[in-house]
Amino acid sequence: MARRYWLMKTEPGTFSIDDLARRPGRRAFWDGVRNYQARNLIRDEIRPGDGVLVYHSGIARPAVAGTAVVVGTAAPDPTQFDRRSPHHDPAADPQSPRWYGVEIELEGIFAKPVTLDELRATPGLEAMVVLRRGNRLSVTPVRPEEWSIVVARGA
């Protein structure tokens, strides 16, 4: 199966690409996704080896901050069962988990983050799902051409 590409949003105040860089092996389990569409992508579509654009949201200048690679298959997100987690889901059943996450490993932090404004202004990126008005999906598919353009601009 061909390598595919994704964009994953995170609020850097909660978990940033620098936090990822400091993790052992520069790896982290991408948890806390609580949207069914995004869950379905993680559980059913994302494969080891896929590329990830790590996107910082909720800040003055939202931007793609770097890239990561998927290093595992989807697994139940343990935070759904953790009563002390902000992502705890009282309705989640360990017998049939509702929420999934996936392990990723940092590839590189961009020398120059590719800002949301820049994404909007760059030819070839007009169709990026993350740019759609009202888009709130925390995991969105990225086309190979889009991946190439963004990486070329950031690296």
Question: Which residues make up the interface to DNA (CB under 7 A)?
Answer: 9, 11, 34-37, 57-60, 62, 91, 116-117, 132-138
- Residues with Cβ within 8 Å of 147's Cβ and at least 6 positions away in sequence, in order, are 5, 51, 53
Nearest-approach distance from CB 25 to DNA, in angstroms: 26
Q: How far apart are CA 139 and CA 40, in angstroms?
A: 10
- Residues with Cβ within 8 Å of 121's Cβ and at least 6 positions away in sequence, in order, are none
Residue number with CB closer to DNA (35 or 148)? 35
Residue number with CB closer to DNA (22 or 120)? 120
Residue number with CB closer to DNA (34 or 47)? 34
Residue number with CB closer to DNA (2 or 60)? 60
Nearest-approach distance from CB 42 to DNA, in angstroms: 13
Q: How far apart are CA 56 and CA 36, in angstroms?
A: 21
Amino acid at 5: Y
Nearest-approach distance from CB 86 to DNA, in angstroms: 9
> Interior CA angle at 85 toward 80 and 86, to 5°?
95
Residue number with CB closer to DNA (71 or 82)? 82
- Residues with Cβ within 8 Å of 87's Cβ and at least 6 positions away in sequence, in order, are 31, 32, 34, 77, 79, 80, 99
Nearest-approach distance from CB 71 to DNA, in angstroms: 23
Nearest-approach distance from CB 140 to DNA, in angstroms: 9
